[in-house]
Structure 1
């Protein structure tokens, strides 16, 4: 490119700076949202994975109903893929009415599950304790005297608080798991020196696998790998329950034998004394020995009845908050598949139109350059440089800004977890994709139009294209309506259909932006309605009480109704995904009145379903995961036993996996006699103070083991990250709408500058000229909003289906304020552009505009 032509290129940019900036802005906004939102999921996963690696989070925890021994530890270490195994002492104690604490044994330089110090230091002496950071809510501070209740598991009760910590075992900042003590919810955890524990057995053994391929936490590859290693570990320990049973029986029998030997020795000594010489004291001692011997004989019978312990294998998904974090990350990633892509598509479409029309406008200049002897390559270089600069600048700035800002912003809004260190990854693939898209929109459009124009001879290029001929429109055929329109209105409506390409592009641009805004509001509605839809429309009970006997009832003035049920956890392996689904089975004692506690509505027909003795009823997401439908068979694992069950129906449900059946079918499945274990409660008030009061009242009653309030559980559904993404999408969509409207209006005016100058010469006032253009824009905006609502409904449904993870199924709802706000935002931007257009039209130089093509 020669120097003169380069100056012409620079002049082209400087003289149309508004157009150049608008092109850069559209590409920038599209790239920013595309790269930024698509990077959120991977960056959240990377931040979590970095934290877990740094703190050496274990992959699996092995527990047993009767504790674990060094023989268990040795067996675990023999598995080839086990990298490290660490035994842990732990006990859960009720410190006060409202405080339940899980106390762990601390080892110096632990191999796994390392604590992160928030303040203070880790325990160095037997009289020191560190508390969960969450314990600060209970008023504890460094240096406080801390007293635990008396326990056979601990050698001492009093400690000094020397630090506050976070544990990688607890990703959630609020949830600390459940227990059979007190209210059923652990308040916080604590760590004391290992030497403080007096336990003979370990509470758990933490296991880390070798992970040779470095699978990242939360990925399907990692979950599959852990499942395989878990199966190998189970096979290695399959004989341990029987061995542990024999060991316990042998230990207890040895204690009894020792005591029996001692009693027999004492009896022999007493037998040496003739009965005539025995004192009352000796006779009483003889009687006591006989009674003690009888008790030991009874104890011998109990030793024989010691059952095999149950070994449990909990992977990371059992850690409070772990699965919630990755489910949220996966939901955001699912949204990122379509929303930013559609956003970028609108940006590319508008940019393509803008650039192609800009080149088309300069066709006379292209013809003149051809006539002066410039080659096609030299002529094309001006537009190639212009569009390359706009495309690269917009794509690179947008991509880098999106990568550096949006993921970190979303991460900072995720307040329901203990991850504080953001670790991002450079999304090279997304950056390249957005750069290619930006160049297709700018350079691609310029090359297409240039290729078409450069085929024509210079004389044709220098000649103005003939304007499109006017045609009768459909509205003209409706005589009563057409005759009532004034001249300006008739001209506007004719122009609408005269330039169909411009009309279509404007409507598509406005509709796309309106649809994106409505989708954002719809996602927020679905997220917000998840809990009410589950606990108001589906499950109508407020609390569940676990009892030791089926016949017991609970009493309180706050309880308006109660229903005896058997509640039991079972597992099901879905046909999709890698991890087992944990399912809550609910079996009411009687089906009468069950609909007052749970609404069973068919997914297909929305009609009420009744429990029958012909099968089980599954919740919707569970049925989807298991690829089950009414009449099919599913495999379930209940108390370690695999059973096949017939599906009698599939019902609506939004949170959790649920299975409902009758006592008769339960007995048919398991072969066990039905016994209710819990009661579903409907209460008059559900505020926190009332919940705490009710919980205290019930726990004082005989046989009550646990009280929980599912809707208000600490592990409440975490969707804060989705909310932040929605906010970003609405703001960015609004910004895109503003730029798109400005750009399309700018093109409209520049293409019709002579037409507008002509009507000004004919005596139209400035306000009438503005109305001449604005009338068309108003129609475009109204039609675009209506079409945009349809696009928004489709996008919202598509995204919410993709965002379903784990046991979550989002309600497909968009409330009417979303439609109003999306229309108002688009309308407001259209009004702003209309005002700017008015002032631009006022400044049109009529003579210059009319002479522009001469």
Structure 2
């Protein structure tokens, strides 16, 4: 142990003497690991936190809604499926509040355990005249505890006014705003509410919630959970097979018996009249009366069966409002985490490798001395390994702990558009292990390579400075007219740049990497926002889609013409179906068939490659870009089309049009008739409106629903708001990327400049002795940094675009294309930050060079 003591002392002395470099290595490793582990942990933490929340609040796995309600028999049927626990709840959509908005109203019962509310303030109803409202009723509509809340008469409740005793969030509505579609009000549910079960005039519960305890150990976003739920839904559907008809028949009951009795009497009367007629009696008037009675009886039968026809709507968690969007949001972060942090960490590792290499190369004299004193290669080498290992472990430990414990929590705290989550941030051991391996490769790996190379030389060679490379002419020197016009200082700078190529490339890579990462941060946010801006700015030039209930637009157009915000509209036939090609299939495709030639004023069809305007050709269709990519088709290829009703066939693709959100297929009326065997029916209006407030949008949608003969109205504003929320949800990640990328760039530039100065200390002392002023000595070094910074920024522009494009491709969904978009502001910020860092490093370097010990440097061992 005693023989190792001088080496150990020397290692600690080296650390103390070069604290800046040791700390820089730790910082670079720490930043790389921090962003790698932190961003990698953000996606799983989002999913785990929501999973913990919905598990705690006992969110049902399956929800079944019936048009005729559920009885105890239905509950028993559901619970026959292994592990199922079922609850019945009264539920219906009503209109209420001062704004007369559509609401999801639930009946509250103390015995119900599933879908427990998250109380934000107040308490659950304890009296029949009390109500607990959605938190948005407070934040968006201004209601307070103790206020009165009224429902429209159409809600059909025991009372129309209730006292507000609480505000809550619900695991059924994890997004603070998204509440789903409605068949009342303006067509969109704006809030939910709970009142006492008996206050609702419903003879039966209309919703059946089913939960499986064994599934709660699975993460709700995992494929394992989704497959298990799909299996349970199949089992439930099997259990309910034939139940709809049985339920309908049981509800018909005595009414059907009465009608059957009347039919029998009618048939008997007809028989008697026919006998009288055959005997020569005129029974024409009596037959007319019986025919009239038969018509009324037939209407009675139809009305009875329509009113009591049972149909079921099956839902899983994926179908709940906001649930899929949340999952896609965490998936996008996970996709970003598969690229951005890896690139970040590679830059950090590369710079660390260079720093360790330079440090050991500078210690050639010490290595030679120890070798001459008789120390073995391992005894000499392991101290440098310990140095590298210590820096790598400290950096990894700090980065892993800070990254894993801070970034996911920051993201969770800023996900304010979702319900309050129970944070569940697990330590990502596997990710930390991967980061540790990379960190040790960059530190210990570099030490092993360089020490092994240095120790291969003899002590005498090691104790002498490494022979400088032979001077060679650089390319600029061969261009005489340009070279001869350069000043002496510039000639020196250019020669030094090409003389130390490895340092030049390292600096360019460091600056380019930092610039690229900052641009990528802006690019991710800009591009996601651009999908909505371009869809509803360049392609769709309308503000509302009105769905007609009877293929007649007369009433709807009358309501629209009476509205001050209305400008114009066009009629289209809109239906949905699926498209197949090359073994791939895209479901939920919107088929649009325009009725008039002014369609191109509302939807601009442009070739996705040439940007040229497209026209709808006979016996051909136009597909949107994302769908064409999934199906692997292009203009001229054949595709197979089928509507929800089973009609369709094969047809040729005439072109692929630009589109960023959802799937659309466009065809003219003749093509529609040829393909589907029937003429298209106008069932939709694309409406151009002036700028509207939320109140004006709600009011128009209400009027159209009540008086316009429409099924519902959807506004592009709502889709744009969804895209805006998607963009804002990534803002925390983007800001973290930009901040840490900036810090990394600064540390890299500072570290490489320090290496440059330490390597050339004798050269700098020499020119200072020759009479160079302090500013000139500084510029001797900084001039090279400025050139390399400019080159790094330019290279970073290109790398940033490539990196952003790759991440966007990874983060895209089946319905959305994110167009590569990086704002001018992003370029300005990235450029200014790099310039600022260069200036700061220049000032630090200037102070350091002013204090150079010229005599000591020039007296150093030859």
Q: TM-score, with normalisation over the residues of structure 1?
A: 0.90
Cα–Cα, structure 1 residues 778 and 811, in superposed 2: closer, same or farther, change >3 Å? Answer: same
Q: Matches of 2:254 and 2:423 in 1, distance apart?
A: 52
What secondary structure does 1:138 align onto? coil
Q: Matches of 1:216 and 1:623 in 2, distance apart?
A: 33
Match of 2:49 in 1: 47
Quick check: 1:413 aligned with 2:414?
yes
Match of 2:812 in 1: 804
Match of 1:348 in 2: 349
CA shift for structure 1 position 57: 1.3
Match of 2:242 in 1: 239
CA contact (8 A) 2:215 2:228 kept: no
Quick check: 1:100 aligned with 2:110?
no
CA shift for structure 1 position 474: 1.1
CA contact (8 A) 2:173 2:179 kept: yes
Q: Matches of 1:509 and 1:850 in 2, distance apart?
A: 31
- 1:493-524 deviation line (CA, Å, top 9, x unaligned): 11111121221111111111111111112112
CA contact (8 A) 1:69 1:201 kept: yes
What secondary structure does 2:121 align onto? strand
CA shift for structure 1 position 235: 4.1
Instruction: Using the TM superposition, name which of 466-475 and 685-694 deviates more.
Output: 685-694
2:799 aligned to which of 791, 797, 800: 791
CA contact (8 A) 1:146 1:158 kept: yes
CA shift for structure 1 position 374: 1.4
1:20 aligned to which of 5, 19, 22: 22
CA shift for structure 1 position 732: 0.5
Match of 1:567 in 2: 574
Q: Which runs of 5+ in 2 are unaligned?
A: 267-288
Match of 1:285 in 2: none
2:625 aligned to which of 620, 630, 634: 620
CA shift for structure 1 position 140: 2.6
Instruction: Using the TM superposition, name which of 305-314 and 838-847 deviates more.
Output: 305-314
Cα–Cα, structure 1 residues 135 and 305, in superposed 2: closer, same or farther, change >3 Å? Answer: closer
1:147 aligned to which of 129, 132, 150: 150
Q: Matches of 1:576 and 1:148 in 2, distance apart?
A: 51
CA shift for structure 1 position 645: 5.2
1:658 aligned to which of 659, 664, 672: 664
Match of 2:744 in 1: 736
CA shift for structure 1 position 630: 4.5
Match of 1:396 in 2: 397
Q: Matches of 1:714 and 1:202 in 2, distance apart?
A: 36
Quick check: 1:536 aligned with 2:543?
no
CA shift for structure 1 position 698: 4.4
Q: Which runs of 5+ in 1 are unaligned?
A: 264-287
Trace 1:49-68 onto structure 2 (pairs within 5 A).
49-68=51-70
Cα–Cα, structure 1 residues 793 and 702, in superposed 2: closer, same or farther, change >3 Å? Answer: closer
- 1:760-789 deviation line (CA, Å, top 9, x unaligned): 111111111112111111111111111111
- 1:619-638 deviation line (CA, Å, top 9, x unaligned): 33334445555555666664
CA contact (8 A) 1:88 1:205 kept: yes
Cα–Cα, structure 1 residues 238 and 122, in superposed 2: closer, same or farther, change >3 Å? Answer: same
Quick check: 1:834 aligned with 2:842?
yes
Match of 2:220 in 1: 217
Cα–Cα, structure 1 residues 574 and 411, in superposed 2: closer, same or farther, change >3 Å? Answer: farther
Match of 1:719 in 2: 727
CA shift for structure 1 position 421: 2.3
Cα–Cα, structure 1 residues 28 and 779, in superposed 2: closer, same or farther, change >3 Å? Answer: same
Q: Matches of 2:630 and 2:194 in 1, distance apart?
A: 39
Q: Matches of 1:540 and 1:733 in 2, distance apart?
A: 39
Q: Matches of 2:748 and 2:691 in 1, distance apart?
A: 51
2:230 aligned to which of 193, 211, 227: 227
Instruction: Using the TM superposition, name which of 202-211 and 343-352 deviates more.
Output: 202-211
Match of 1:270 in 2: none
Q: Matches of 2:424 and 2:581 in 1, distance apart?
A: 32
CA contact (8 A) 1:126 1:196 kept: yes
Match of 2:607 in 1: 602
Trace 1:82-97 onto structure 2 (pairs within 5 A).
83-95=84-96, 97=99
Cα–Cα, structure 1 residues 580 and 471, in superposed 2: closer, same or farther, change >3 Å? Answer: closer
CA contact (8 A) 1:410 1:724 kept: yes
Trace 1:101-120 onto structure 2 (pairs within 5 A).
101-120=103-122
Cα–Cα, structure 1 residues 677 and 571, in superposed 2: closer, same or farther, change >3 Å? Answer: same
Instruction: Using the TM superposition, name which of 842-851 and 734-743 deviates more.
Output: 842-851
CA shift for structure 1 position 67: 4.4
Quick check: 1:190 aligned with 2:197?
no
Q: Matches of 1:119 and 1:573 in 2, distance apart?
A: 51
2:132 aligned to which of 130, 133, 138: 130
Q: Matches of 1:248 and 1:627 in 2, distance apart?
A: 51
Quick check: 1:549 aligned with 2:553?
no
Trace 1:581-730 onto structure 2 (pairs within 5 A).
581-590=587-596, 592-630=597-635, 638-639=643-644, 641=646, 646=651, 648=653, 649-666=655-672, 674-688=680-694, 690-692=696-698, 694-695=700-701, 698=704, 701-713=707-719, 716-717=722-723, 718-730=726-738
Match of 2:167 in 1: 164
CA shift for structure 1 position 319: 1.2
Instruction: Using the TM superposition, name which of 808-817 and 63-72 deviates more.
Output: 63-72
CA shift for structure 1 position 320: 1.2
Cα–Cα, structure 1 residues 188 and 586, in superposed 2: closer, same or farther, change >3 Å? Answer: same
CA shift for structure 1 position 261: 12
Cα–Cα, structure 1 residues 600 and 168, in superposed 2: closer, same or farther, change >3 Å? Answer: same
Match of 2:490 in 1: 489
Alignment coverage as a number of residue pairs: 828
CA shift for structure 1 position 557: 3.8
CA contact (8 A) 2:70 2:207 kept: yes
CA shift for structure 1 position 751: 0.3
What secondary structure does 1:541 align onto? coil
Q: Matches of 1:640 and 1:77 in 2, distance apart?
A: 33
Cα–Cα, structure 1 residues 634 and 669, in superposed 2: closer, same or farther, change >3 Å? Answer: same
Instruction: Using the TM superposition, name which of 743-752 and 422-431 deviates more.
Output: 422-431
Q: Matches of 2:261 and 2:178 in 1, distance apart?
A: 47
CA shift for structure 1 position 568: 3.9
Cα–Cα, structure 1 residues 307 and 633, in superposed 2: closer, same or farther, change >3 Å? Answer: farther
Instruction: Using the TM superposition, name which of 171-180 and 597-606 deviates more.
Output: 597-606
Q: Matches of 1:327 and 1:493 in 2, distance apart?
A: 50
Q: Matches of 2:709 and 2:537 in 1, distance apart?
A: 29
What secondary structure does 1:719 align onto? helix
Match of 2:362 in 1: 361
